[in-house]
Structure 1
Amino acid sequence: MSALLWTLALLWPVLFIAVATHELAHTVTARLLGIPVRSVDIGAGQEVAAMTVAGIRVSLRRRPSGGFTDADLSAARSRWHVIATVAAGPAVNAIEAVALLLIGRVAPGTPRDMAAALGAAIGLVAILQVIPNQDNDGALIIRALRGHTVQEAGGGSPCR
């Protein structure tokens, strides 16, 4: 199978992993900062499976095209806690992208090409998350940095 076919075959599970780690980063950061987390959706579309983990409802959905963490940002003690919680998801995706791109630079042959392509895809996802757009992570961070109240910065609404 060619490198392109392998890359396309791996893209779906790799994007699911990227979404899962993104949402896990929001969740872990929120919990460490004392912010309650109600639920986490990994993926978009129809729910495929659901479970409760550490008192948090976790739902796996059909497509790896997004997800959200329903954290009560209004319970944050400061805007910096909101920023840390929201920025954690894109930060993890950026780390994953850099790691895959570095593997793509040092691994021999076909795996190098696949790692570089997957790293680029995850990097694009991370970049799109921090470009402010209505209710994504970037928009929440900008509003919190501008000094808006937690409610104005998206308190009570999910980290995307």
Structure 2
Amino acid sequence: MSFLQSLSAALTPLGLLWTLLIISAATFMHELAHYALARWQGVQVHSFSIGMGPVVFRRAWRGTEWRLSLLPIGGYVEIDGMAPEEFKTDGGEVGYRQATRGFAALPSWGKIAVLLAGPLMNLLLAVFLMTLTFTSQGIPAADRARIQTVQEGSRAQTLGLQPGDVITAIDGREIPETLQIEGRTVMGWENLRNVLGTPGPHTFTLERAGQTRTVTFAWQPTVNGQRQLLGIGYGPDIVPAPLPVAFQTSLTTTVQAVPQVLRAFGNLFGRFLTLNFSQDENVTGPIGTTEIVGRAAAASPWALVQVATLLNLSLAFFNLIPIPGLDGGRILLVMIGSLRRRPLSFSQEQAINVAGFAFVMLLMMFVVVRDVSRFF
């Protein structure tokens, strides 16, 4: 298959449409939070754009020009006093200097509130979507494995295993919620794969139609050099969850995701600095994201909601990275100025922001090139 054929197979119209809708919605809410916190503190917002590039529609409302721009990617708010202001020198030339009004005149906590509002909104959206999913679909039970499919003529069928059976214990021991496999933390139900890689007698304790059953069998992972399969598809058991439990689980899941996301971004930065273009399943580019969204849209609405949750989480955490040009970098500069008891000079802040913006752009180019390279 040629490069163009592979690319067109990944970028389906359905995937492109839903990717643009999800990212546009996440960006809109992100920028709306910046807007709301600025206006709440009496700071004027000159413009609010959905999309980037040339403006195709504009309307003034409540002191802000609301825009719809041509390119349906991202968006922005133009908050008074956040960008440098123009001035004319004695010679009539146009120069730039640090703004002294609007955002620039806010106390440090006010500036941080405006900057933090965007990522926090995406975080809240992710928690809301997770809560909605858990309430409607139930919560995955990490310590219980549900058999989803049983292959015809397989060893599992011979043993009497059936779809819907819930494995509650393996070899007489209850399944833990988490465990360490190959140096990483996984859910307890995933240990089933590890067990089936170990020869010898094994016992499954099952729940079926409210009754407990025990299945004992001898197992050899390989026979005559060929890998053996038990013949089941499985995943975590799903248990119903009332709203308070769903909300609490969403918060817990978000907190547990923090170290995983930090490791993923750390790995990405390491690959970027060493120009390592090998694929990484934890971080994907725009083509990979569109491919995932397309598969989710074709699978079910709830799969699409899960992808939207992950995208909002990623947007929140990425914007909080303390790199100048991102919200986290701007917050860092505000904190440095607060500790120094005077803001950075115009030239210092501009140099830092330009360097940070260049780094982010190079990082984005690296992600895109790595994303495209897998089709060659």
TM-score, structure 1 as length reference? 0.79
Q: How many angstroms does 1:124 deviate by?
A: 1.1
Question: Secondary structure of 1:68's match?
Answer: strand
Q: How many angstroms does 1:131 deviate by?
A: 1.1
After superposition, the C-alpha distances for 1:84-122 in whole angstroms (9 at most, x for unaligned) are 011111111111122223333343482221110111112
Q: Give aligned pairs, total.
A: 151
Match status 1:92 vs 2:121: yes
In the alignment, is the contact (CA less than 8 A) between 2:23 and 2:74 conserved in 1? no
Query: Does the C-alpha gap of structure 1 residues 133 and 38 become closer, same or farther in structure 2, counting only changes over 3 Å?
Result: same
Query: Does the C-alpha gap of structure 1 residues 35 and 102 become closer, same or farther in structure 2, counting only changes over 3 Å?
Result: same
In the alignment, is the contact (CA less than 8 A) between 1:35 and 1:75 conserved in 2? no
Question: What is the aligned partner in structure 2 of residue 119 from structure 1?
Answer: 309
Q: How many angstroms does 1:10 deviate by?
A: 2.4
Which structure 2 residues correspond to residues 146-157 of structure 1 after superposition, within 5 A? 146=336, 147=338, 149=343
Which structure features the higher share of helix residues? 1
Match status 1:107 vs 2:301: no
After superposition, the C-alpha distances for 1:123-143 in whole angstroms (9 at most, x for unaligned) are 111222111233221111111
Question: Secondary structure of 1:22's match?
Answer: helix
Query: Does the C-alpha gap of structure 1 residues 40 and 151 become closer, same or farther in structure 2, counting only changes over 3 Å?
Result: farther
Candidates 307, 322, 326, aligned match of 1:136: 326
Letter in 1 for 2:313: G
Candidates 31, 44, 65, aligned match of 2:73: 65
Work out which structure has the larger RCO, using CA pairs closer than 8 Å and 6 or more positions apart in sequence. 1
In the alignment, is the contact (CA less than 8 A) between 1:37 and 1:70 conserved in 2? yes
Which structure 2 residues correspond to residues 12-27 of structure 1 after superposition, within 5 A? 12-27=20-35
Question: Secondary structure of 2:70's match?
Answer: strand
Query: Does the C-alpha gap of structure 1 residues 75 and 116 become closer, same or farther in structure 2, counting only changes over 3 Å?
Result: same
- Per mean C-alpha deviation after superposition, the further-off stretch among 98-107 and 67-76 is 98-107
In the alignment, is the contact (CA less than 8 A) between 1:18 and 1:122 conserved in 2? yes
Which structure 2 residues correspond to residues 18-57 of structure 1 after superposition, within 5 A? 18-57=26-65
After superposition, the C-alpha distances for 1:29-72 in whole angstroms (9 at most, x for unaligned) are 11111222222222222323211120111222233432222212
Counterparts of 2:78 and 2:25, CA distance in 1: 19
Counterparts of 1:36 and 1:61, CA distance in 2: 21
Question: Secondary structure of 1:107's match?
Answer: helix
In the alignment, is the contact (CA less than 8 A) between 2:112 and 2:334 conserved in 1? yes
Aligned-pair Cα RMSD in Å:
2.7
Candidates 82, 104, 119, aligned match of 1:74: 104
Identity %: 26
Counterparts of 1:102 and 1:93, CA distance in 2: 14
Query: Does the C-alpha gap of structure 1 residues 87 and 49 become closer, same or farther in structure 2, counting only changes over 3 Å?
Result: same
Which structure features the higher share of strand residues? 2
- Per mean C-alpha deviation after superposition, the further-off stretch among 50-59 and 61-70 is 61-70
In the alignment, is the contact (CA less than 8 A) between 1:104 and 1:114 conserved in 2? no
Q: How many angstroms does 1:8 deviate by?
A: 5.2
- Per mean C-alpha deviation after superposition, the further-off stretch among 114-123 and 99-108 is 99-108
Letter in 2 for 1:87: L
